[in-house]
Structure 1
C-alpha cells in the first residue's frame, strides 16, 4: 500500500467511530429517528474537525497529483462506505429480502431509507464537496462509490417487493413502499446530480417503475381470483357472499390511497384507475349473477342479488371508491338494485296479490259478482300460498337490517290491504257466513306478524 493511501485511510478511519445516529440501533431501544427534509447535515461534517478535513483534502490532492487517483477513490469510498453501512445497521435495518415482509418491517425500511436519503447521503455529498474541492469529477465518482453499497442494500427491499408473488394481499405493502420511493426520488436526484452518480438515481426510478408494474399485476390477479371463484355451492339463505365482502372492502382499502393508485395505473398509458376498479366490480357482479342461478327458488335468487347488490351500493356511494368508479357506474348499480328488489317482491308476493285481486274490476276497483264456492277456493289457495311463502322464507337472510325492515314494510303494504279487502268481500257473502271462521286461517294481524318475523334472525347471525 502506498504511504499516501495508508495516510488517507488512517485519517478517515480515525473518524468512523462516530455516527450521526449513534445509539439509535441499541438492542434495548427500538425507536428510530426519522429523517427530515431540512438541511440538518452538519452531523457528519462535525465528526471531522476542520483541521482534519483540511488534512484529508491535502492528501487527496497529493494522491491525484501523483497519479494515485484510483487508490484515492478506493480508500475513500471503502472507508466512508463502511461508515454508511454501519449507520444503516445501527438504525435497525439488518436485512433486505426475502419478501413478503411484515408491516413492521416495511415501516422500519421506510424510516431507515428516509434517514439515509434525507440525512446520510446529503451529508456524504457535503463532505465530498469539501474533501474534493477543485476536483469535482473525482468527488462525484467518490460519492457514487461511497453510497453504492448502501443504496444497493436499501433498494434490494423494493426490488424484492416488485418481483415477489402477485397475491392481492400484497397490494398495501407494495403501495407503502412505492409512496416512500416517490417522496425520496426528488431528494435522491438532488444529491446524486453528477454524471458518475446518475446510475443511483436511475436505480431508484427503476425500482419505482417495477413497483408500479407489480401493483398493476396484483390487480390483474385480483380479477383472476374473482373469475376463479366457484359458482357453487350457493350461500345459505341467499345472504351476502364472502367474495362480495372481500372484494368491496379490499377495493375500499386500496382507494384510501386514491391519488397513488391513479398515478400507478396511468403509468405507461395504462388503463385509468377508475376503469381498472370498474372492471373488477363488473367481474364481481357477473360472478354473482352466475351464482344466483344456483338457487331453485326464483325469489331467493333475486334476494341473493339484492343482498349483494345492496351491500356494494352502500359501500361505494361515498368515499374514494365511489369517486373512482364514477357517478354513471353508481347510478347503474343503483338501478340494478331497484330491479332486483322489484323482482324479489314480484316473485315472492305476485301470485298472492294476483289471487286476491282476481275478481276485482280493473276499471272501478269494485268486485264483480262471484260464487261463494269460488271465493272459498281462493281463500284456501291464499292460505296455502301465504303459508308456503312464510315457511320458505323464514330461514332466508337479509344482510342489512335497514334493508330487511324496508322489505318487511313493503310486503305488509302490498299484501295486507289486498287481503283485508278480500276478507270484506268474503264477509259480505251470506253463503260463507257460517264457515268463515273455519276457512280463515290468518287474520290481518296474523299476516302482519308473520311478515314481520321474516329475516329477524339475519342480523344476529351475520
Structure 2
C-alpha cells in the first residue's frame, strides 16, 4: 500500500457537536502522544473553544483585521477551511524512498510461504510508482547528455545498481508467485521489460569499460631507479597486474558483472566479455607485428615473406606466455570474483583460442617447403616453444595445462622433425653440386665456404638445441611423416673414433664432413696439374680445419680425434705437392751423368743449369698465380719449399759453378743465386702471376 502522508481528520470534529469540541483538543496526529493537562487547564480550554464556536459573528467582525495579518493562501496552507487542523508538507516520493518500500515488500515475500503469499498477496500501489521512477532513471542514464566521459558509472551508481537488483528480484518473485495468475501478467511483463532495458544498459557500460583498456607494452617493467615515490610505485605495480585497467575500472566491471549474473544475464555478460577481450587481444598481437595467417596462406607464401612473419610470431608467443596469460587470469578472477568456475571457463576459452592460433602458425611453417636457409628460423621457433610453456602452467587448470602441453608438443615435434630433415638435406645440397668447372687458382671452393659457415653458425648458436632435436625427435615416426631420408639412422648409429662416442648430432656432422671430402676430392680431379689439385685440397682442408678449430662448439662436436686425422690428411697433400713439383725440379740438380771418366762433362752441366732455370721460371710463373688464402698455410708451404730447394741449389752451384768459363758463359747458365731463389719462392701463391725475367736488372 502507498504511504499516507496526510493525517486523518477527526470524525467527531466534523459532526460539530460537543463531542467534537472535546476531540479538537484531545486528538493528535498519528504517531504522537496527547499532552497531559490539569483540570483547570482543561476547563479553560473548553470555555475558549465554546466561545469560539458559539460566537462566529464576533470572529467575522474581526475578519478584516485578521486578513491584514494573514493572507488567504497562508490560511489554505494551514488547513484549508477555517477550523480544519493543519497537515505537514507532503514528502517527495523518490527512488531512494521507494526502494525502501520495495525492500520491505520483498522481505515479506521471502519470509512467507509461497502458498500463503499467493493466496493473500495484493500488489501495492507504490510498485507502479517505483517502476516509473526506475524507468525515468534508465532514460536519464541512456541519454547522450548524461553519459559520463571515460565510461565510468554515474556518481549515484549505487542506487541504480540497487534498483537493478531489486527489479531482478521483483521479476523472479512475482513471476513465481503469479505464474498461473493472468491478472498480473501485464505487471510482470512490464517488470521484465524494465529489467531487460536495465541489463542492456549495464551490458553497454560493461563493454565500454572493457574497450577502454590501455595498451600495455610487453615486458614493460618499472625500474627501481625510475620510480618517483614508494607509494606511487606500489600503486603502479598493483595496477600492472592487470592488462590495462585501473583499479577503479576493475571495481566497476566487477559490480556490473555481479548484477548481470545474479539477474540471470550471465550469458550476455560472458559474451560481451569474450568478444571485447578477444578484440583487444588481437589488437595487441597486431601491435606486436603478428597477423593471423591461415595454413593455406602460409603454404603459398614465398620464403622471403614468410621469414619476415616469424620474428613477430616469436615476440607474440613470448608475450602471451610470459605476460598476457597471467594478466588475463587475474583480470577474469577479479571481474568475476565469487564465480571461480565461470572465471576459469572464460579465461580458458579465451586464451586457448589465442594459443591454438599461435600453434597453428608454427605447424603451418613446419610443413612448408624445406630448404637449408630456413633452418635457423625453425630453430628459433623450436626454442620459443620449448622455453616459454612453463610460464603458463601456474595460470591454467590442470586439465587445460595437459591439453596445451600436448598441443605444444605436437607443434614442437613437427618443427623438430623438419629441423632434422633440413639438416640432413644439407647432404643433398652438397651432392647436387655437380659443376665441372674447377675453381681458378685452386682456391677454396664456394661449396666449402657455404657448408662450413653454415655448420659453424649452427654449432655456435644452436648446438645445444640441435643436440636435443636429434636426440628427442630422430626416432619419432608418424603416418604423415615422409620427409625423413630413408637411410637416416637417427641416434641408433654410434660413431666411434677411438675412445670417443659421439652424439647423433655429432654423427650427422661427420657424415656431412665425409661427404664434403668426397665431393672435394672429385672436384680436385678436374685439375690437370696434380700439384694444383693438391693446393686445392690443402686450401679447402685447411679452411675446414680452421673453421672447426675456431669454434669451441664445433670442435667439441667433431672431437679432437677427427681434427688430428684432418691435419694428417693435409700433411699428405703437402707431401704430394712437394713431390710433384719441387722434387722434379731437384732432379735437374742430379749428379748422375755429370762425371765422365773422372771429369765433369761441361755440356751435361750446362744442360743441367739450363733445365733448372727453365723449370724454375715456369714453376714461378705458374704458381705465383695460384692462391693460398690461409696465411699460415702459405707460410708453411714457402718455408718447406725453401728448405728443399735452396740448400740443394746452393750446394750444386758451389760445387759446379767453377767449371763454367767466367764471364758470358757464367751469366748465360747461372741465372739465379740462392738469394734470388728464396725471393722468388716468397712470391708464390699470391695470386699475382709474375715473371722472373721482369725482375732482373
Q: Identify the TM-score tier after normalising by the shorter chain.
A: 0.7 to 0.9
Q: Which residue of 2 aligns with 1:16?
A: 210
Q: Which residue of 2 aligns with 1:56?
A: 257
Given that 1:172 and 1:254 are in contact with CA atoms closer than 8 Å, whether structure 2 keeps it comes out as: yes
CA RMSD, Structure 1 to Structure 2 (Å) = 3.4
Q: Which residue of 2 aligns with 1:412?
A: 642
Q: Which residue of 1 aligns with 2:102?
A: none
Given that 2:439 and 2:445 are in contact with CA atoms closer than 8 Å, whether structure 1 keeps it comes out as: yes
State whether structure 2 residue 422 is matched by structure 1 residue 238. no
Question: What SS is found at the alignment partner of 2:539?
Answer: helix
Q: Which residue of 1 aligns with 2:575?
A: 342
2: CA distance between counterparts of 1:6 and 1:281? 71
Q: Which runs of 5 or more structure 2 residues have no equivalent in the other structure? A: 1-192, 222-236, 475-489, 492-503, 690-697
Flag the 1:147–1:75 CA change in 2: closer, same or farther, 3 A: same
Task: For 1:222-261, list aligned pairs within 5 A.
Answer: 222-255=426-459, 256-261=461-466
Flag the 1:378–1:8 CA change in 2: closer, same or farther, 3 A: farther
Structure 2 length-normalised TM: 0.57
Task: For 1:47-86, list aligned pairs within 5 A.
Answer: 48-57=249-258, 59-60=260-261, 63=264, 74=271, 76-86=273-283
Flag the 1:221–1:8 CA change in 2: closer, same or farther, 3 A: farther
2: CA distance between counterparts of 1:405 and 1:124? 66
Given that 1:212 and 1:264 are in contact with CA atoms closer than 8 Å, whether structure 2 keeps it comes out as: yes
2: CA distance between counterparts of 1:134 and 1:50? 14
1:214 to 418, 438, 441: 418
Q: Which runs of 5 or more structure 1 residues have no equivalent in the other structure? A: 23-31, 361-367
2: CA distance between counterparts of 1:359 and 1:322? 50
Flag the 1:236–1:434 CA change in 2: closer, same or farther, 3 A: closer
Q: Per-residue deviation at 1:302?
A: 0.5
2: CA distance between counterparts of 1:327 and 1:74? 64
Q: Per-residue deviation at 1:304?
A: 0.2
Paired residues in the alignment total: 439
Given that 2:257 and 2:269 are in contact with CA atoms closer than 8 Å, whether structure 1 keeps it comes out as: no
2: CA distance between counterparts of 1:203 and 1:111? 19
Flag the 1:6–1:458 CA change in 2: closer, same or farther, 3 A: farther
Greater alpha carbon shift after TM alignment, 105-114 vs 404-413: 105-114
Q: Per-residue deviation at 1:446?
A: 3.0
Question: What SS is found at the alignment partner of 2:399?
Answer: coil
Q: Per-residue deviation at 1:104?
A: 5.6
Flag the 1:75–1:195 CA change in 2: closer, same or farther, 3 A: farther
Q: Quick check: which has more Rg, 1 or 2?
A: 2
Question: What SS is found at the alignment partner of 1:42?
Answer: coil
2: CA distance between counterparts of 1:5 and 1:247? 68
Flag the 1:316–1:285 CA change in 2: closer, same or farther, 3 A: same
Given that 1:167 and 1:218 are in contact with CA atoms closer than 8 Å, whether structure 2 keeps it comes out as: yes
Greater alpha carbon shift after TM alignment, 218-227 vs 449-458: 449-458
Q: Which residue of 1 aligns with 2:554?
A: 321
Q: Per-residue deviation at 1:293?
A: 0.7
Q: Per-residue deviation at 1:241?
A: 0.6
State whether structure 2 residue 329 is matched by structure 1 residue 144. no
1:283 to 515, 526, 529: 515
Q: C-alpha offsets along residues 370-410 of structure 1, whole Å, 9 cap, x if unaligned? A: 54444333323322332332233232111223322332222
Question: What SS is found at the alignment partner of 1:441?
Answer: coil
Q: Which residue of 1 aligns with 2:564?
A: 331
Q: Which residue of 2 aligns with 1:28?
A: none
Task: For 1:362-441, list aligned pairs within 5 A.
Answer: 371-429=601-659, 435-441=665-671
Given that 2:213 and 2:245 are in contact with CA atoms closer than 8 Å, whether structure 1 keeps it comes out as: no
Q: Which residue of 1 aligns with 2:478?
A: none
Flag the 1:380–1:430 CA change in 2: closer, same or farther, 3 A: closer
Greater alpha carbon shift after TM alignment, 195-204 vs 3-12: 3-12
Q: C-alpha offsets along residues 117-154 of structure 1, whole Å, 9 cap, x if unaligned? A: 22222122223334555655544332222123322333
Given that 1:226 and 1:283 are in contact with CA atoms closer than 8 Å, whether structure 2 keeps it comes out as: yes
